Structure 1
Amino acid sequence: MPTDDPLLQAARAVRDHAYAPYSGFKVGAAVRTVSGAIFVGCNVENVAYPEGTCAEAGAIAAMVAAGEQKIAAVAVIADSPAPVPPCGGCRQKLAEFAEGSTTVTLATTGGEQRQISVADLLPGAFSTVHME
């Protein structure tokens, strides 16, 4: 994903709004829906760990609140030495709203990027198939 891609730029911009006074580790995420709309989220820490919210979860919540439910692409950015993948819970949340082939771009504020599919992030994801 080029660094000027609107999805990555949206994740970069929202990262600045992250509330991370305890770890200092700010993360921004953006999801593009199949309609082309972009929704963003940033991590929000809480002194009572683990009551914080991940950036990916915030972006997904904003998407659902707006009435959309299908993710076409994802971007996550953090100021780290290497691209940071979503936590396990957020991997499952992404799998709920995205196809396995959906691309997730993981980026650093320094410009390094890695692209991976939702299926590769969470092989063997729990799904409705398991509930039949």
Structure 2
Amino acid sequence: MIPLDEKELVRKALSAMKNAYVPYSKFPVGACAVTADGEEVLGCNIENASYGLTICAERVALFKAYSEGKKDIVALAVAANVDEPVSPCGACRQVISELAPKAIVYLTNKDGSKIKRMTAEELLPYGFKL
């Protein structure tokens, strides 16, 4: 596994926030997933007038990585325009637990000054499994 610079990972998640499409909530979120070989995949939240069709940044990054054959996710950073480290929604926690179960997850705030580091298991203990 490659060594990860958490500040750089957080910076990339913050950068991904700029591409968010959030005309309804005005709540941009960015994510950066990293594979075992160091490839980075960015994602941002994308809203829709039909709210159920909205997708979170974490899922965009992970689905994009998987769709490109990048399945060995070792880290995921998530940033949002909030004062404290952002907390992923339940759906994202479940997706992280299945698609990136060994990942270190970095949660941060609007300027990257506060970072919470945790495992996928800590993020969702007792996640749903078939």
Instruction: Indicate if the aligned counterparts of 2:43 and 2:58 stay in contact, CA closer than 8 A.
Output: yes
Report the counterpart of residue 19 of structure 1 in structure 2. Answer: 21
Whether 1:103 and 2:77 are equivalent positions in the alignment is no
Deviation at 1:9, TM superposition (A): 2.0
Aligned with residue 30 of structure 1, among 27, 32, 46: 32
Rounded Cα–Cα distance in structure 1 between residues aligned with 2:38 and 2:120: 19
Instruction: Indicate if the aligned counterparts of 2:104 and 2:117 stay in contact, CA closer than 8 A.
Output: yes
In the TM superposition, what whole-angstrom CA distance separates every residue of 1:55-80 from its partner, at most 9, and x where no partner exists? Answer: 00100111012111121011000110
Amino acid at match of 2:48: N
* Residues matched between the structures, number: 125
Instruction: Indicate if the aligned counterparts of 2:6 and 2:106 stay in contact, CA closer than 8 A.
Output: no
Q: Which structure has the greater CA radius of gyration?
A: 1
Is there any run of 5+ residues in structure 1 with no aligned partner, and where?
Answer: none
Q: CA RMSD in A?
A: 1.4
Aligned with residue 67 of structure 1, among 66, 69, 82: 69
TM-score normalised by length of structure 1: 0.88
Rounded Cα–Cα distance in structure 1 between residues aligned with 2:49 and 2:40: 30
Fraction of identical pairs, as percent = 36
Taking the TM superposition and a 5 Å limit, the aligned residue runs for 1:46-65 are 46-65=48-67
Is there any run of 5+ residues in structure 2 with no aligned partner, and where?
Answer: none
Q: Which structure has more strand as a fraction of its residues?
A: 1
